Amino acid sequence: MPPSVAGYTWEISDSPYPSQFLSGTREFGAENPCLLIDQYSGKRPAVLNKEFFERGKIQFGLYPSALLDSNLANQVHAVANGGKVNDGFESLLRFLTEKRWDFSLYFYYVEHFCKARTHDDFVNNAVARTRALLALHSMDESEFLNSGRVVPNPEAVQHYLDGSGVFDLDEAASRRVEEFCSLHSRRDTLNRIEAIEVALIRMFLLRRIEMPKATPLKQHEAFLTFLERDLGAILARESHLALHYFYDQAGSLLGIQPNTPIDRALATITSTTWDMYFLRMPELFFSGSPTEMCLSFIATQEKQLGRLARLFSVESIIGTPEGDLLPVIGYAMHELPNEAKSSPPPVRPPHRGRKTVPVGLRDAMVNELRRVLPK
């Protein structure tokens, strides 16, 4: 990568270091399994930055964190308040506790912040779940591992209170949610969500409506042209999902047919959009000059999200001098026919693209869906 583009690079697939945290995606529980997804192929990321090239080595702390999806945020609230939880989450929580992993509600914050009907709805729900999270973070770990009961460890509770300058965990939870609201841009997230939605809608229209008799490779070529010309951004994961979709190898990941009612189609697109966004979230925690870095792994009980995650791996992450992060994504090709493997789509260089979706593009795409799908 030219110096004008790359300020630093995190090598992942070519890293010589095995991960000390996960050697691959793990499944917990039997009746309601929970996945802890490893997008790093069992590797520990290694950073190549100015300090590394000047000194020949770089040292920094690295700790693992599980990014919980929104359904698991509800499980956190249940277990902290004496309610029942399913076997998958209970097994996952035991693993996180034994291994002393961090676990975070950050994705829940982002999703609920964008979807909540009012700001008060978001704050009330987020504070309740954050209070539960802090209760788990400060619980007596030995008691939990022995009995499954969540009881406070007074020293751990006091540590949280001293660090936040508050009097109890309720106030600490409120302070954390307030800080999220002050720092997070709802518009930035919705811009990314709109881009993914537009790509998914275009995927369906090309396959089922506009070019149903064209070859999958022709459909894929048209899809990439749309991303580059009309959307103004090459979306790596969506580009690969499209190849599976055009070869009818995507299963239920975008299960829309020409006879699917419009409301169900839009709900399916919304669900898949947030799954695709969630897969990107661990990349946000990478930086160019870390003194301590959080390596995030997605935790979910959503089978569709697990299926999506198996299609991709993160090969490397390029940080630009302007502050952009450009992930290089590896693709799973084993489920595709030999035709696709022998004639893969052309590789585009990392593309920073537009910061926003062109005005009116999403509305136009949704209107086209409404025109071709039944009510």
pLDDT score at 350: 47
pLDDT score at 217: 93
Query: Whose CA is closest to 197, among 106, 284, 275?
Result: 275
What residue ranges of the chain have pLDDT lower than 50?
1-5, 347-352
Q: Per-domain residue ranges for the chain?
A: 187-372
Query: Whose CA is closest to 130, among 165, 93, 105, 100?
Result: 105
pLDDT score at 251: 75
262-318 pLDDT, tens per residue? 999 999 999 999 999 999 999 988 888 778 889 999 999 999 999 999 999 999 998
pLDDT score at 54: 67
- Amino acid, res. 141: E
